[in-house]
Amino acid sequence: MLQSTGTTRRGLLRSALGIAGLAGAGALAACVRAGTGSGAAGPASKVTGTPEFWQWGTGYNPGFETLVNEFNARQTGVTVTFVPAPPDYWNKLTAALAGNVGPDVFLMNTNARSWAAQGLLRDLSPLISKDKAAASDHAAVLKAYDEWYRIEGKITGWPWDYSTIASVFNLAYLEAAGLKSPVELGDKWDWNMLLEYAQKLTRRGATPQETRFGFIVITGDESGWLNFVYANGGSYFTPDLKRCTLASPQAVEAIEFLASLIQKHRVAPTQEEIAATGLNTTQMFHQGLAAISTVGDWVFQQNMQVAGLRWDASFIPKSPQTGKTGSAANLRALVMNAQTKQVEATWEFMKYMLTKPVQDRIVSLFQEVPARLDSATETYANPEKAGPPSGRRLLRESLLATRPLPAHYKAPLAEYRAQVTQIVTDALMGKIGVREGMKQAEDFANSVFAKYLD
């Protein structure tokens, strides 16, 4: 494990803590439906122990309670203590680890790289290498997980689940304009088609409140512009996650396209126009002020609760240059505390959580995407099992295109993410040229990263 020197453990933990905002996204768990477990007790195990498990989302509590209770009912000799999400998870977790009293296993997100670099997460590679069943389960997960949680050959996270990003559209508006649903369009749903649709669906009024915008450009990276950068073959980082690459031609081209929807074609609202409605972008879609948008799948449940709203979803429009879509994901995983004294017992629980019967129930318990690709394809991308929207079958392409949310291998997100996003937003809104803005964003990020280079 990478170890830092010359600073206290509490100081390391404070510097590693850089993404409390993402925990909010993870807490958007959907309404829980009762699941059915395998019911079968596991084989007798010589391993015994009482590992403690923490996670951050209050909306996740019922689902995790169900799974922990079922694991304990197997009576393998390992009994897990589940601690429901505390109000201030990341700060309490930081303090607990600093005091050497933290949980044995806990839920991790985009903090993973910087925490692993501080030596806070145990390397799971030795455990996986001597367990064929666990190795087989690990091989079944989305490829992006292995790329994200493998650090210098060490596997620091045990895949759990994630979210996907999609296009959502108002079916009533499409029908009135005589337009096919993007679900019907399939591979033809690309940037060119998005522009054509947005132009035909925009209805300008005297004020933003009286205007229907054909599309909304989301200025956040997770559910907005970064997905278009990924689709166009661009990236936020070099493969080693040490340098920002947002000024690449592919990234610039993606932002130029989105900026043109706002500035040139005027089919998407400016920040000022959004503010004038008194609504956020999700509410604008719900209230009919926007025909098409991009959202994280955690918004699906909200859409279904809007009376009279007829909607569907598909993948992010494909880049005409690459023919590919994009999806930026917060890859959640279970991680083992590097200080735990209950390694084998904790590992028994972690292994259980990646078995197919458990992963098959993530959609019903959490409304999120299972880390296992087979489970995701059979459940999440299947509207007959997962429910609306019907277009979720096309989201299998989003799953395959998934790449992690950007996070430097050492620098905390809090030191650069918001500032980079603001610069990109200024470029989208025409406050700065796109090429100049993307270069500024890249240079700012790299100036931060330079402080953490070995």
Query: Among candidates 201, 110, 191, which has minimal Cα distance to 156?
Result: 110
Query: What is the structure's pLDDT at 113?
Result: 85
What CATH superfamily classification does 9-163+330-380 receive? Periplasmic binding protein-like II (3.40.190.10)
As a whole number of angstroms, the distance between CA 407 and CA 235 comes to 12
Query: What is the structure's pLDDT at 43?
Result: 52
- pLDDT mean over 58-73: 97
Say if residue 255's pLDDT is above 90: yes
3-state secondary structure of 333: strand
Of the listed ranges 73-77, 187-191, 244-248, 450-454, the one predicted with least confidence? 450-454
- pLDDT mean over 270-277: 96
Of the listed ranges 12-21, 59-68, 245-254, the one predicted with least confidence? 12-21
- Per the prediction, the chain carries an average pLDDT of 90
- Are β-strands 327-329 and 402-404 bridged in parallel, bridged antiparallel, or unpaired? parallel
Using 50, 70 and 90 to split pLDDT, how confident is the model at 5?
A: very low
Say if residue 33's pLDDT is above 70: no
| 25 or 354, greater pLDDT | 354
- pLDDT mean over 292-306: 96
pLDDT over 90, % of the chain: 80
- Global pTM reads 0.88
Place of tokens 């666990």: 134
Query: What is the structure's pLDDT at 39?
Result: 39
Query: What is the structure's pLDDT at 240?
Result: 83
- pLDDT mean over 410-430: 95
- pLDDT mean over 301-307: 95
The tens digit of pLDDT for each residue in 112-166 reads: 888 888 899 999 999 999 999 999 999 999 999 988 898 888 999 999 999 999 9
Q: How many C-beta atoms lie closer than 10 Å to residue 374's C-beta?
A: 13
What CATH superfamily classification does 165-328+409-452 receive? Periplasmic binding protein-like II (3.40.190.10)
- pLDDT mean over 280-287: 97
DSSP per position, 114-179: HHHHTT-B---HHHHHT-HHHHHHHHTB-HHHHHHHEETTEE--EEEEE--EEEEEEHHHHHHTT-
Query: What is the structure's pLDDT at 147?
Result: 83
Query: Among candidates 136, 97, 129, which has minimal Cα distance to 10?
Result: 97
The tens digit of pLDDT for each residue in 322-338 reads: 999 999 999 999 999 99
The structure tokens listed for 167 are 């296009």
Bridge-partner residues for 292, per DSSP?
169
The structure tokens listed for 140 are 């079944």
Q: Are 323 and 187 a contacting pair, CB within 8 Å?
A: yes
- pLDDT mean over 8-29: 39
As a whole number of angstroms, the distance between CA 98 and CA 71 comes to 29
Query: What is the structure's pLDDT at 27?
Result: 34
Q: Are 273 and 196 a contacting pair, CB within 8 Å?
A: no
Of the listed ranges 51-60, 148-157, 368-377, the one predicted with least confidence? 148-157
As a whole number of angstroms, the distance between CA 193 and CA 187 comes to 10
Say if residue 6's pLDDT is above 50: no
As a whole number of angstroms, the distance between CA 30 and CA 167 comes to 19
* CATH 3.40.190.10 in the chain, residue ranges: 9-163+330-380, 165-328+409-452
Q: Are 151 and 239 a contacting pair, CB within 8 Å?
A: no
Say if residue 421's pLDDT is above 90: yes
Of the listed ranges 44-53, 79-88, 434-443, the one predicted with least confidence? 44-53
As a whole number of angstroms, the distance between CA 379 and CA 364 comes to 9
Query: What is the structure's pLDDT at 454?
Result: 66
DSSP conformation class of 80: P
Say if residue 307's pLDDT is above 90: yes
Using 50, 70 and 90 to split pLDDT, how confident is the model at 11?
A: very low
Place of tokens 């996670």: 55
Using 50, 70 and 90 to split pLDDT, how confident is the model at 9?
A: very low
Query: Among candidates 124, 111, 136, which has minimal Cα distance to 26?
Result: 111
Say if residue 44's pLDDT is above 70: no
The structure tokens listed for 376 are 């995701």
As a whole number of angstroms, the distance between CA 304 and CA 312 comes to 10
Q: Are 25 and 418 a contacting pair, CB within 8 Å?
A: no
